[in-house]
Amino acid sequence: MAELFEMPQASPTMETGTILAWRKEEGAELAPQDVIAEVETDKAAMEIEVFDPGFLLKILVPEGEEVPAGTPIAIIGKAADEDISALLAEAKATPAKPAAKQAAPEAVEEEAPAEAPAEPAAAEPAAPAVDGLPPATWHGKPLHEAIMEPVHVFGRAGGASSGPFGGRVRSSPAARKAARERGVDIDRVAGTGPRGRVTVSDVEGFTAAPAPTPDIARMRGDVEVRNSQMRRTIAKRLTQVWRDAPVFYLTARFDCDRLVVFREQLKDAGLKVSYNDIIIKAVARALVDVPEVNASWGEQAITRHRDVNIGMAVALEDGLITPVVFRADELGLAAIAEATRELATRARDRKLRDHEYTGSTFTVSNLGMMDIEHFTAIINPPEAGILAVGGLQQEPVVRDGQLVAAWQLRVTMTCDHRVIDGALGARFLQAVRRYVENPALLAA
């Protein structure tokens, strides 16, 4: 019997999905584990499989269209000639689910004013309005044309020539003659005579203003780039944590001469371990030493996680994703290096599975490879902290009263103050410092 095939929810945060490509055509026979479509979710591009044999009888959502999770996207049946008219009617009758939550009508009504504001009292008769503008006034009082001619700011009045501000131009015959002889557009000359009259001296002293600078953005044409599922999810989740979590920042500078020597020794031993791999290991061990930081906020209780799962921020073309190194405290440096390389490669190829980018308990974001010395990062919810790692560089430092060049590394920890107090965050960074400045401890 034919049935509607719905857009799956690939992750707990996924609300909508975009059909990137259909891998099967209508009428195609399907076998178990056949991939019928590729879908972009809020985290990655995923392949949709079927688990039973059958036929793809109808494609309901074309490529490139975005629909909410749970929306019918195809009809799959047991036979190629099944009658699907009833299912087509059901799919058309199914109301589209909103991709984003909207305010309830009651909330909108509450925000509306109870009564319309009272109409302001009518002002005294003033000079007539021009081109929809309000009547001209002087210090709030109506103008009388017998006293002062109102300036028409925009447009022309009565078909008369307009001045530099769009009003009527008054000029003497001599001034108009002088303008013609000099090739000056008298409409652009500001008059200094009575009631703004343009005089001969005004024409003789007129200097044409330079041509306005062209609007480069308009000339080149602005380009609107449609927000991907990932970009919208990043915006929503990070805006939420920025709004809801009271955060503060702790910055520390580590001496890394031993770290540089330690990594060179690993390279000489044939181990491809990056500085970021060592930082991840140091953070994992520090979370074991200070387990209060390996936690998440809850309204009823703070959850302290038993496993130390480190998320690592990976930049993509349209955002970022945080694949997870699970139980990083139990892994050696070589195993961490292998895991980070594989996860980063599949993250950039949009091939991560949903369980590989969820479940982190603390995140490390490293921009040192981009020559960033110091930055702050936004917490990846529901974690309570994130460590922003800058670039490793040589700097002048004072040691034993002597000025020497030394390898230095700056890190900044963003802390959710609901879980981590200042002293606790400082104690955690002291633990990280201990491992970074004495990396031989990580090999133990």
- The pLDDT value recorded for residue 426 is 98
Residue 435 and residue 200: Cα distance in Å, rounded? 84
Question: 130-162 b/e with 16+ CB inside 10 Å = b?
Answer: beeeeebeeeeeebeeeeebbbbeeebbeeeeb
pLDDT value at 131 more than 70: no
pTM for the whole thing?
0.59
Name the band, by pLDDT with cuts 50, 70 and 90, for residue 269: very high
pLDDT value at 168 more than 60: no
Name the band, by pLDDT with cuts 50, 70 and 90, for residue 209: low
- The pLDDT value recorded for residue 41 is 78
Contact (CB, 8 A) for 40 and 8 = no
How many Cβ atoms sit within 10 Å of the Cβ of residue 411? 24
Structure confidence by residue, pLDDT tens digits, 327-350: 999 999 999 999 999 999 999 988
- The pLDDT value recorded for residue 276 is 96
Beta bridge partners of 171: 198
Name the band, by pLDDT with cuts 50, 70 and 90, for residue 213: low
Name the band, by pLDDT with cuts 50, 70 and 90, for residue 127: very low
152 a catalytic residue: no
210's tokens = 């330079």
pLDDT value at 128 more than 70: no
pLDDT value at 356 more than 80: yes
349: Cα separation from own chain's centroid: 20
Q: What is the mean pLDDT of residues 79-85?
A: 85
Which of the pair, 31 or 311, is modelled with greater confidence?
311
pLDDT value at 233 more than 60: yes
Residue pointed to by tokens 């203003």: 209
Choosing from 139, 144, 374, 417, which is the catalytic residue? 417
Q: Which helix (H) or strand (E) holds 112?
A: none
Distant-in-sequence, close-in-space partners of 340: CB < 8 Å, separation ≥ 6? 274, 276, 277, 280, 312, 325
Structure confidence by residue, pLDDT tens digits, 24-57: 888 888 988 888 888 887 767 778 888 888 889 8
pLDDT value at 142 more than 80: no
Residue 148 and residue 138: Cα distance in Å, rounded? 10
- Range from 136-150, 269-283, 365-379, 424-438 carrying the lowest mean pLDDT: 136-150
- Range from 49-63, 246-260, 412-426 carrying the lowest mean pLDDT: 49-63
Which of the pair, 165 or 408, is modelled with greater confidence?
408
Q: What is the mean pLDDT of residues 125-135?
A: 49
Share the mean pLDDT of the chain: 81
Residue pointed to by tokens 């009082």: 141
Domains and CATH numbers, the chain: 3-93 (2.40.50.100), 167-204 (4.10.320.10), 229-443 (3.30.559.10)
225's tokens = 């780039």
Q: What percent of the chain has pLDDT over 90?
A: 42
Q: What percent of the chain has pLDDT over 70?
A: 78
